[in-house]
Structure 1
Amino acid sequence: MGTGGPSPSGELLRVHFIDVGQGDSILIESPNKHYMLIDGGTKSAGKEVVEYLRDQEIRKLDYVVATHPDADHIGGLIPVLNSISIKKFIDSGKVHTSETYEEMLTLIQSKNIPFEVAHRNDNFLLDDNIKISVLHADEEAIDNNEASIVLKVVYDEVSFLLTADAGVEVEKKMMESMDVRATILKAGHHGSNTSSSLPFVQAVKPEATILSYGQDNTYGHPHYEVIQNLQHVGSKMYGTAESGTIVVATDGKQYEVLANEWTGIGGRSSIAPPERKASKVKSKRESSIIIESVELEDEVVAITNNGEQAISMNGWQLLSVEGNQLFNFPDISIAAGDTLYITSGPHAKEGKDYIKWTGRQVWLNDGDTAQLINPKGEVVNEH
C-alpha cells in the first residue's frame, strides 16, 4: 500500500482511478459528497463504471467530463448517461464523426443535460475547498489527443494532475504558462512515450503516478521510456492493470494510495529496453504486400507489392496503432512492383495511385505504428 505519510484523517477527498482496461475513467469524490466523473473507458466498460458508481451509492453526478472524443474515453459514458443523473456535461469541443461520439451528443441533448465546452483557465468548485482548473483544452486541435482536457485538482497541500491523452507538445505548452506541479500525476495516454516526457515529469515532480492501461495491451503500454522518466524523478508508480481500481484518499495534508506499487506485470515493453528500429518489423506470416513507408506529418502511407503478380486488397486493413483507427481497403488490386498511397489529413490526395482515407488527421506525429492486416486478420507487416 502506497502512502504519502501517515494515513489521512478528517474530511477526505477521494480520487478513484477506475479499472476500465485499456482506457481512462476517473471519479472525484469530494468530502461533502459531490462527484465529478472524467471519462468512462470503452463502451463495453461502461457497465462496470455504472456498477462501480452504484456500489459507491452515487445517484447523481455534478459533472461529467469527456476529455476528448476517442472511444476508449467516451464510449463508457453512454451507459452512464443512460443510468445516472447528471447536472452538467463538460466536453472538449473537438468534433468527431464517430457513431460513439454522435450517440453521446444525442443522449446529452435528449436528456436536456446542460452542456459546455471547456476552455483553458476554466475553474470548477466541487466543494468550497476543492478547486479544479483546466490547464489545457483545444477544440481546434487537429489530433484528438491534442484536444485533451487536462485538469488540475487542488485540495489544500495535495494536488492531482489528470492529463488524459495529452502529448508532449501539449506538455510543452502547459509548462510554459501553467503551474504543472502536482502531488499525484495520472500519466498521459496510458503510459505511452508520446506523453510524460522527462522535462514534463521533472516540472510536475509527482510523488506518485497512476498508470491507467489494460493488461498485456497491444500497444506495450506503459512504455519503457516513461517508466525510466518516472524513476528518474523518484515517483512511485501504481497501475490499474495490476491493482484494479486505485483509490487515492487525502485530507489535504497527507494522502494514501490504496494499491500496491507497480511491478511491471502487464506492461511487456516497460520492463526491458525498446527494440532497435531495425527489428521493429515483425511478420506473423510472409507477405509480398508491405508497408514501404509511413510519413506521419504528411499523413501518407506507402503500400508496395514486392511480389511477381497482382494482389487484390479486398478485405485487407491498415491500422494506426496509437490512434486505434482502422482503414478498410476498397476492392482494388496492386500490380506487381507497384505502390499504393493511403492519404489522410486536411491535405489528403486522391486519384491515380492515391486513396484518400479521411480528411481528419490519423497518424500521431510524435510517434505511431502502422500495421497491415490481411483478410484472415493476421498482422503481416508493421512499420
Structure 2
Amino acid sequence: MRTARTTLLLLSTFLLSTNIAMAHPGATDAKGGHTCRTNCAKWGLEDGEYHYHNGNGSTQTPTPTESPNSSGDAKLKADKIKPPAKGKLSVYFLNVGQGDATYIKTPAGDDILIDAGKNEAGDVVVDYLKQLGVDDLEIMISTHPDADHVGGLDTVLTHFKVESVYAPKVSHTTDTFKDFLLAVKKEGLTIKEAKAGVTLPLKGVKASFVGPVKAYGDDLNEWSAVLHLAYGTNAFLFTGDAEKKSEADMIAAKKTLKADVLKTGHHGSVSSTSPALLKAVSPKYAVISVGDNSYGHPAATILNRLKSANVTTYRTDLNGTVTAISDGKKISFLKVK
C-alpha cells in the first residue's frame, strides 16, 4: 500500500517549484454540475466524480442517467486501424471516449504518445499501440494532470519502454495523477518540463512546445502542454485542454501556431478555440477528441466557428480513430466512419 510519506515525497520532488492546487475549481456545465478535481474526499466525493453544489454547501451526485459518460466509455474497445505508412508522418487521434490520446509515428520511425485518456482507457491505448507494431516510445507527453488525459499513461508505462516523459510544471492531488508519478518513478525516469521554447530531439521533423507560455496557478487546463509539429510544409498543432488565456498568451508571444491540422482544445468546449487562435492557426482540418458527455462537448458555437472558417472537422465520437498521413507536402486522411 502506498504510504503518505511516499506520496508526499513524490509530489514534492515532481518538479521542485510546482504549486499544488488546493482548491475545488471547475466551471459548471449547462446542468449546473461539474467533476471533482481536487480535495475530493473533503467534499465526500471520489476523484473525478460528477456532482452539483447545493446552497447549504453540501454536494449532490446525479442519478446514473444524468452522469456524464454514463453510456459508451465503459464499453470502449480499440478500433481496427491500419499500421503507419513507412517513410511518412502518421498521426492517430485515438478514439478513447471522453478524453484525449494521440499517437505519432515520425518518418524516421520515432514513436510519440500524447496523453492516454481516462484510467479505463489505458488498456485500450495499449491495444492501439500493439496494433500499430509499437515496441517502445521515444517520447511520452502528459499535457496536464486532468484524469481524462493522464489517466491511462501509467498503464502504458507498464507495457512499453519509454525513453523520455514530458509534462508541464504543475501538479495535482488526485490518485490518478499520483499513479502517473509512481509509474514514471518505477521506470527510473525523470519528468522533463514541457513549456514554450522546449524542442523535442527528433530526426526529420521539427517539434517544439509553444505552450504553456506562463504559469496559471490552479487552472490546470491553461497549463496544457501545446505541441507544434512540422514535417516538410505540413504542420500539426496539438493543444491539450488549453483555453483562451493560454491561447492569447501564445499569440502575444508570437509562437509558431500556423498548422494544417488543429487538435481542438478541451474537446471542442467554448472555453477554447477562440476566433483569435483559429485565425493564427488557419487550419484546413480540425480533429475533436470527444466521447459521450453531458458537458455539451463539442459546443455548437465551436462547430459553427470551424464551419464558417471552411475547416473540415473530424470527431472521434462520430468517426472513430482519425488517422492523418503526411508526405511532407500533402496530408490525407484515411477513410473514417
Task: Tell me the equivalent position of 2:132.
Answer: 56
In 1, Cα distance between the equivalents of 2:142 and 2:296? Answer: 25
Cα-to-partner distance string for 1:333-370 (whole Å, 9 max, x where unaligned): xxxxxxxxxxxxxxxxxxxxxxxxxxxxxxxxxxxxxx
SS in 2 for 1:185: strand
One-letter amino acid of the structure 1 residue matched with residue 151 of structure 2 = G
Change (3 A) 1:119 1:80: same
The runs of 5 or more residues in structure 1 that have no matched partner are 1-8, 262-383
2:241 is matched with which residue: 158, 162, 165? 165
In 1, Cα distance between the equivalents of 2:230 and 2:182? 33
The reply to whether residue 184 of structure 1 matches residue 264 of structure 2 is: no
RMSD over aligned Cα atoms: 1.5
- Structure-to-structure mapping, 1:1-383, within 5 angstroms: 11-127=87-203, 129-137=204-212, 138=214, 141-177=217-253, 178-215=255-292, 217-260=293-336
Deviations 1:99-157 (A, max 9, x none): 01111111111210242111211001322x21111101255532110110000000010
Which is further off, 247-256 or 170-179?
170-179
Give the AA of the match of 2:211: H
Q: Tell me the distance in 1 between the aligned counterparts of 2:175 and 2:184.
A: 14
| Kept after mapping to 2: 8 A contact 1:40/1:77 | yes
| Preserved CA contact (<8 Å) 2:154 2:184 | no
Structure 2 unaligned regions, length at least 5: 1-84
Q: What percentage of residue pairs aligned between the two structures are identical?
A: 33
Residue identity in the other structure for 2:184:
I
Higher helix residue share: 2
For 1:204, the aligned partner's letter is V
Corresponding residue of 2:82: none
**Highest RCO, 1 vs 2 (Cα 8 Å, sep ≥ 6):** 2
List 4+ stretches of structure 1 deviating above 4 A.
none
1:101 aligned counterpart, secondary structure? helix
SS at match of 1:229: helix
Counterpart-to-counterpart distance in 2, 1:156 and 1:228: 30
- Whether the 8 Å CA contact 2:291–2:317 is kept in 1: the answer is yes
Cα displacement (A) at 1:169: 1.1
Counting matched residue pairs gives: 251
The question of whether the paired residues in 1 share the 8 Å contact of 2:168 and 2:224 is answered with: yes
Partner secondary structure for residue 62 of structure 1:
strand
Aligned to 1:336: none
SS for the counterpart of 2:159 is coil
> CA distance change for structure 1 residues 240 and 93 in 2, over 3 Å: closer, same or farther?
same
Question: Aligned equivalents of 2:110 and 2:258: distance in 1?
Answer: 25
Which amino acid letter does the alignment assign opposite residue 268 of structure 2? G
